[in-house]
Amino acid sequence: MFDRWKLKDFAPGEGRALGAFTEHFTMDDEWIAISAPGDVYQALTAAGRIQDPFYDRNELACAWVREREWWYRLEFSSVEAATLQADERFHLIFEGLDTFATIWLNGQELGSSFNMFREAVFDVTSRLRPAGTNTLVLCFDRPHDRIQDLTPPSWGLPMLDEIPGLGGKRTLMRKAQFGYGWDFGPDLPTVGIWRPVRLVRQRQAILAGVHFVTEQIDQAQDLALISLKAEVERFAGEGPLTVTFQLLDPEGAEVSAGTRTLLPGESTVAHFTARIEHPRLWWTPELGEPVLHTLRVSLSQGELLLNEQELQVGLRTLRLDQASDPEEPGTTFFRFILNNVPIFARGANWLPASSLVGSVSDERYTALLTAARDANMNMLRIWGGGIYEQDQFYALCDRLGLLLWHDFMFACAPYPENDADFVREVSAEIQYQVTRLRNHPSMALWSGNNEVQMLHQLLTSSIPGVPPLSGLLYFDEIMPRLVQEYDGHTPYWPGSPFGDGMREGDYHDWHVWHGIPLPPDDSSTGLPAGGLDLSLFMEPASGPTPEAVSFVHYAEDRARFISEFGMHASPTAETLRRVIPEDQLYHHSPAIDHHNKDNPKNKGDLLMSSVTGLPQNLEEYIDFSMIAQAEGLKFGIEHFRRRKPHCSGSLVWQLNDCWPGLSWSMLDYYGFGKASYYYVRRAYAPVLASFKALPDGSVELWLTNDTQQELHETITLQVRTFAGQTLWEQTLAVQMAATGSQPVWRSEPFQGADMAGQYLQVRSQQNRFPANRHFFAAIKDLERAPAAVEYTITRQGEHELQVHLRARTYAFFVHLTGVDEQTKISDNYFDLGAGEERTITLVNQAQALTPEQVSVAWR
């Protein structure tokens, strides 16, 4: 009923002056079609009024969109209103309006909404026409008009307040903060109906809230204790009400059930508790299956069913352990305990899946989140500059076993505390979102913001006169109170990062990418000695050196939980070809640099110069930037995982992109995996073998086991030349405990001028972990002959190909391209030793695959 609308724009104030909210307003030839949920930019592109804002530099030509007011119009019938009973009502529910909206029904104003992040609900019982047509009209005002007379709180540094992402009037709006530009995405502030619209018929009473909690898991007794609270809102009728719940296992068998009666004038909340024997628990993938149960809660009066809710829930407990770490005195853990089992969080940061937030399809969510699960991830962090996601996102995380670290939507700026309306709006938003998401087993933690306290601490350590931080009212008072009141079980953390990182809390390791020295051992702030030189972020001339941005500095990081770290890389060649004009397809072209929102633009060049050397053409730039990113993330993840349990989490910045740009993502905007995606998939394997280089030239082999099974393994270590000669070999039988990490072998110091022509590798004879290798020199300095690979491509039915490869000499960075983003590749961007063979499978269920599509390349 509410998915097909008409859209028109006016100059600010013009629509009201012309009576665009009235029922008989026409100008029919000037309205264009738009879907809801949807996006204004997409509708304008389809109508030919703008060019694709993601192509070339078209983003700049779309700036006029924010200067207009946007009107939505819809006509609908409500025949149900003719049968309305005296004890019934109709509610019109807008789940998401972006952002300053006024709503009219049949020419009468219903009210307004000022917050993109919470629903707007209107009682339309007396305003619906039981026969004929109803006219629903919305006006979205130009945001600037609503805040032009307000002054945002400041960092005290005009140059910072003016940088996209670090301040400005965006903080005065409860609107997706990244929409006005960030260091990974465009300046395309969205507008319109971005979440569903519903007309709901209700009778006598409704279930206003359902809260399911697993109170305790007792593995010894094979028992779970659950509680359930059902809140009832009665608006008509007088008789007793009955609340019934039923919990069903995945096969539909009843696990638990109960009934409560609520008498008039007494409690409006029904409480239940139950014991479940032999519970089937919800786990992350490396520990078990993410088993979901169906919870049905119904509200009745006698035989009349008034309201019913059906939820997917998981039997699981989760807590945040911050106890003292006895092996590293003066530090504390920061680790999640799932069903009494400590876990290492292997994951990434999640950005909105498109800058056009109302346009993301269920299929896009499924592809991206399945890719995260398939990369051996068990946690995503929803970043605080984006959005609270669509319902489908959370349902998929529940099904896939992905835990969620969830920021509230505040990022990188001070926020106003002295505006009572703003404070009330934020409080209502927090209550709404906590209540909305509390039943999802994937919800692991609420965090107050992204980098607000960190930036203030950084500035006060470096610059005199920085004002006190505005926004702590939310992070220190309102948020923790509302999370406790409306959830009570999901942990709350004041921000990300928070704490000094090296000793407690979580940490954002941007020292490597920005070329900043890590804090000294005695730091209590997590900042370099003497504060921070802000010029590192401003101009290439004063920026970092190649040595400073070398990823080997990750080995100096002693933090407890790494909630951000990353490296920049190009998207795939196919993605660049879709958005960059052919005459601009060269490194640092104006169009390519426009799609790189990070500054200075030469940071990636510095990284490449220390890893691969500088590229000479676009093909080399794509490969070299991907190699540098992939090797850097691999190195960092292996270091963090070896430090388990002292470090208990590694969340890469970032999993995905909001537009087809140059960024820190592992999956580009169209879903193609960069090299880093496949490197990280191997580095996040539940069992990992990794090498640690020591100062004396020796090398340790570590095993990290994130599973619940004790590890008994036979491994083979070899030193080989790139030409294929085996210089040394050893076979080891190893044993290690579940969920542990430890060294299992150490070499004598490796010495000699010929080490650049050799490498050390490890393999599992039982295939319990991916093979790994250690180079004795930077990739650009390796001494090896040009690689040679033989391969054949054969069809295995219409939708599957197999590529069989054999390397005659060491082949680095072997990769398969040419297929579209729907094609699943079993592995990619890998090395082949001399004489080694591998078979790679490509599957595309949506369309046929042919051998001619596939290109195979290597370095």
Residues 561-571: tens digit of each pLDDT:
999 999 999 99
Statement to judge: residues 605 and 569 lie in one domain: yes
Secondary structure tally for the chain: helices H, strands E: 16, 43
pLDDT > 80? residue 533? no
Query: What CATH number is given to the structural domain containing 827?
Result: 2.60.40.10
Summarised one tens digit per residue, pLDDT across range 624-681 is: 999 999 999 999 999 999 999 999 999 999 999 999 999 999 999 999 999 999 999 9
Residues 161, 155 contacting (CB under 8 angstroms): yes
Query: Which CATH number belongs to the domain containing residue 130 in this structure?
Result: 2.60.120.260
Query: Closest by alpha carbon to 425, among 837, 115, 196?
Result: 115
Instruction: Give yes or no: residues 577 and 714 share one domain.
Output: no
- pLDDT-derived band at 374 (thresholds 50, 70, 90) equals very high
Q: Give the total number of structural domains in the chain.
A: 4
Q: For strand 811-817 and strand 830-832, is the pairing parallel, antiparallel, or unpaired?
A: antiparallel
Last residue of a domain, one of 199, 228, 255: 199
pLDDT tens-digit readout, 834-846 = 999 999 999 999 9
pLDDT of residue 161: 74
Domain identity same for 641 and 666: yes
Query: What's the predicted TM-score (pTM) here?
Result: 0.96
In angstroms, the CA 210 to CA 706 distance is 34
pLDDT for 531: 52
Residue found by looking up tokens 């070896």 in the block: 642
> Within this chain, do residues 421 and 549 fall inside the same structural domain, yes or no?
yes
For residue 524, pLDDT beyond 80: no
720 shares a domain with 804: no
User: Residue 581: pLDDT above 70?
Assistant: yes
Q: Is residue 307 in a domain? A: no
The owner of tokens 């909340």 is 269
User: C-alpha 627: how far from its chain's center?
Assistant: 23
Residues 580 and 607 in one domain: yes
Helix (H) or strand (E) holding 730: strand 726-736
CATH code for the domain of 679 = 3.20.20.80
For residue 302, being part of any structural domain is answered with: no
Per mean pLDDT, which range of 20-24, 369-373, 511-515 is the poorest?
511-515
- Asked if 561 and 432 sit in the same domain, the reply is yes
Torsion-angle region of residue 420: left (phi > 0), alpha (psi -120 to 50) or beta? alpha
Residues 359 and 508 in one domain: yes
Query: The tokens of 858 are what?
Result: 């290597």
Per-residue model confidence (pLDDT) at position 694? 97
Residue 289 lies in a domain: no
Helix H or strand E segment including 395 = helix 391-400
Q: Provide the residue range defining the domain that includes 745.
A: 685-784
Same domain, 635 and 720: no
* pLDDT(517) > 90: no
Q: Which of residues 725, 755, 784 is at a domain's end? A: 784
Percentage of residues in the chain having pLDDT higher than 90 = 88
pLDDT digits (tens, 9 = 90+) for 107-162: 999 999 999 999 999 999 999 998 889 999 999 999 999 998 888 998 887 777 77
Pair 454, 526 in one domain: yes
Residue 770 and residue 794 in one domain: no
283 within some domain: no
Q: How confident is the model at residue 540 (pLDDT cuts 50, 70, 90)?
A: very low
Between 183 and 525, residue with greater pLDDT: 183
The least confident of 310-319, 538-547, 553-562, 645-654 is 538-547
Mean pLDDT value of segment 492-507: 95
736 lies in the same domain as 834? no
Sheet holding 789-795, edge to edge: 789-795, 800-807, 837-843, 824-825
Task: Show Cβ contacts of residue 727 under 8 Å, excluding neighbours closer than 6 positions.
Answer: 719, 720, 721, 758
The DSSP call for residue 406 is E
CA 113 to CA 125: how far, in whole Å?
19
Residue 220 lies in a domain: no
Average pLDDT, the chain: 94
Query: Which has the closest alpha carbon to 813: 767, 859, 852?
Result: 859
Three-state DSSP class for residue 634:
helix
**Is position 845 within any domain?**
yes
* Cα R_g (the chain), whole angstroms: 28
537 pLDDT higher than 70: no
pLDDT band at 703 (very low <50, low <70, confident <90, very high): very high
Q: Is residue 276 part of a domain?
A: no
d(CA 385, CA 380): 15
Single residue among 641, 659, 684 that ends a domain in this structure: 684
Residue 271 in any domain: the answer is: no
Q: What is the pLDDT of residues 316-361, one digit of tens each?
A: 999 999 999 999 999 999 999 999 999 999 999 999 999 999 999 9
pLDDT for position 445: 99
Structure confidence at residue 80 (pLDDT): 76
